[in-house]
Amino acid sequence: MVPFFRRLAPIVLLAVGLASCRKQNPDDFVRKGTAYLERGQYPEAIVEFRRGDVLPDGPATSCPICLPVNLARAFDAAHQSDSAIVMYEKYITTPYIERLDPPLFAQFADPVDPIFLAGVRRRLGELYEAKGDTAKAVEHYQAFVEQWKNADPELQPRVAEARRRLQALTPVEKAGRSR
């Protein structure tokens, strides 16, 4: 009978370990990641954001856009623009139910998309402009301007700046098409 329990012990320990891991709150990892990000500890922030997204027995959250936007912020702050672009683009292109019907925002505790989408569009415009990808920069600046065209007056200077960037980039874009 003892050999049976010896063989069973590792399985029980694994099950207990998985259960205790599941008790960890994913938001704790995200909060740690945010704290690291604010302190300029970008590699640590990236690790914590990833830990907050996956647990040993599956996804930690039903928010498919939370990890990409948090990683993008960390990569961006760490001046890893290519990685930031990939994560910001993933954030924008990931299907997300709250994008479909704005009245749903009131039903969810954490409406991430309305908080980040406009800023992500503007930042992607800046990142693509810095890389020399005029077409992508124009695409994202236009999306930002469209989204915030009726924003509060205190936000309009950001819209005006994006419009100035568009004016500066658009003649280059038109000249490239006429060839």
pLDDT of residue 179: 44
What pLDDT does 37 receive? Answer: 93
In order along its 179 residues, the chain shows pLDDT tens digits of 555 555 665 565 555 554 454 457 888 888 999 999 999 999 999 999 998 888 777 677 778 888 999 999 999 999 999 999 999 999 999 887 766 555 444 554 444 566 788 999 999 999 999 999 999 999 999 999 998 888 899 999 999 999 999 999 987 445 455 44
Q: Distance between CA atoms of 23 and 57, rounded to whole angstroms? A: 11
> Which whole-number Å values give the CA distances from 69 to 74, 113, 147, in the listed order?
9, 10, 18
* Residue 77 CB neighbour total at 10 angstroms: 15
Distance CA 74, CA 35 (A): 11
pLDDT of residue 102: 52
Report pTM. 0.74
**pLDDT for position 5:** 52
How far apart (Å, rounded) are the C-alpha atoms in residues 74 and 80? 9
